[in-house]
Amino acid sequence: MLFNFGVALTFLIVMAGFVAGNLLVQLLLSPHNNYDAKKMPYDCGEEPVGSGYRQYNLRFYLVALVFVIFDVEIAFMYPVTAVFKDLTQDGWGLMAFVEIAIFVLILTVAFVYTWSEGGLDWIREQVKRPTSPRE
C-alpha cells in the first residue's frame, strides 16, 4: 500500500521539477528589456484613459450564474441520457425519467421565479425612496 503513495509522491516531485525547470529556463532565456510602453496595461497601442477600476453591473454576474447553473444541469443529465436505453431495458427507465423530470422541474421553478421577480430584466426601474423633511 505504501508503494501506491510512493508512486504519487514521485509523480508530484517530477511534476514540481518540471514546472520549476520550465520557469528557470524562461527566466534565463527571456529578454529583460523593460520600457514604458511595455509596462502599459493595454497592448493595443492606445493610451489608457481614466482608472482601470470600474464597478460593473451586477446583472453580468447574474447572467453568468444562470449560464453556469444550466450548464451544470446538462453535465448532470448527460450521463443518465447516455445510458437511458440500457436503464429502460433493465426496468429502471421510468425511475430515471422521473428523477430527471424532478431535477428539471426544480430548476425550471427557480428560473421562472427569478424571471417573475425581475431578476433577469436588464433595465430595472430605480426605486425612489421617500426623502425626509430634514434633508
Is the distance from CB of 117 to CB of 109 less than 8 angstroms?
no
As a whole-number percent, the residues of the chain with pLDDT over 90 amount to 29
The rounded distance, in Å, linking the Cα atoms of 101 and 81 is 12
pLDDT in tens, 74-94: 898 898 889 989 999 999 999
The pTM is what?
0.48
The rounded distance, in Å, linking the Cα atoms of 65 and 114 is 12
How many residues make up the chain in this entry?
Answer: 135
What are the grid coordinates assigned to 62, written together?
A: 447574474
pLDDT in tens, 50-79: 776 777 777 788 888 888 888 888 898 898
CA-angle at 95, arms to 94 and 99, nearest 5°: 115
- Residues contacting 58, CB < 8 A, separation 6+: none
